[in-house]
């Protein structure tokens, strides 16, 4: 009987039954992006990511849904579509409660409600969020405040300018006795 070999990533908890999968995974830990799009010069870690990106330029959608007419750029988009529209499967399950999701990213965000982790930090104040959407929504408050400050400064400058003009005009037309 053949022993099953499991390949482990030295940098995270990733495991695989295939060395090729581990090699592909290891690229996620690197900042190196040797594969460049010839249409827009955007760079990617893997050939697969580059191919998917080029498909967005060309409009090619090689992944066809067997249940409807939809087609997708990536196999991941197709899998997500099938779970949302056809199978209603929610394979990503929370180990701390009964929550389950169609997408791994949504489960990851949900788990933060148990752990309290808030990895997305505002660089202008101490606000932190468990997801990017809430951080972006928070950032709008800074732009609104900045807009109000800018408007107030503009009104102040206009006020000072008006007083100066009024003073100049008054002095110019003053009656001397």
pLDDT tier, 175 (very low <50, low <70, confident <90, very high otherwise): low
Instruction: Name 15's bridge partners.
Output: 8
Alpha-carbon distance of 54 to 60, in angstroms, equals: 8
Burial of 170 (0-12, 13-18, 19+ CB in 10 A): exposed
10 Å Cβ neighbour count for 110? 18
pTM here is 0.54
Residues 22, 9 contacting (CB under 8 angstroms): yes
Residue-wise pLDDT for 106-138, tens only, equals: 999 999 999 999 999 998 899 999 988 999 998
Alpha-carbon distance of 32 to 20, in angstroms, equals: 18
Residue-wise pLDDT for 47-101, tens only, equals: 999 999 999 999 999 999 999 999 999 999 999 999 999 999 999 999 999 999 9
Considering only CA atoms, give the Rg of the chain: 29
What does DSSP assign to residue 140? H
Task: Kindly tell me if the per-residue pLDDT of 102 is higher than 80.
Answer: yes
Tell me the CA distances in angstroms from 110 to 12, 88, 135, one per residue in order: 21, 19, 16
């Amino acid at each position: 009987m053949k022993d099953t070999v499991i390949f482990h990533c030295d940098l995270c908890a990733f495991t695989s039954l295939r060395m090729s999968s581990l090699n592909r995974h290891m690229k996620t830990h690197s900042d190196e992006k040797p594969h460049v799009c010839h249409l827009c010069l955007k760079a990617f870690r893997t050939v697969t990511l580059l191919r998917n990106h080029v498909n967005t330029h060309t409009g090619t959608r090689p992944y066809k849904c067997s249940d409807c007419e939809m087609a997708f750029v990536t196999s991941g988009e197709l899998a997500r579509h099938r779970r949302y529209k056809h199978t209603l499967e929610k394979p990503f399950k929370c180990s701390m409660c009964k929550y389950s999701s169609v997408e791994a990213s949504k489960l990851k965000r949900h788990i933060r409600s148990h752990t309290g982790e808030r990895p997305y930090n505002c660089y202008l104040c101490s606000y932190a969020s468990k997801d990017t959407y809430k951080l972006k929504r928070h950032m709008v408050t800074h732009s609104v405040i900045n807009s109000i400050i800018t408007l107030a400064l503009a009104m102040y400058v206009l006020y000072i300018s008006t007083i100066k003009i009024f003073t100049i005009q008054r002095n110019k037309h003053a009656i001397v006795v």
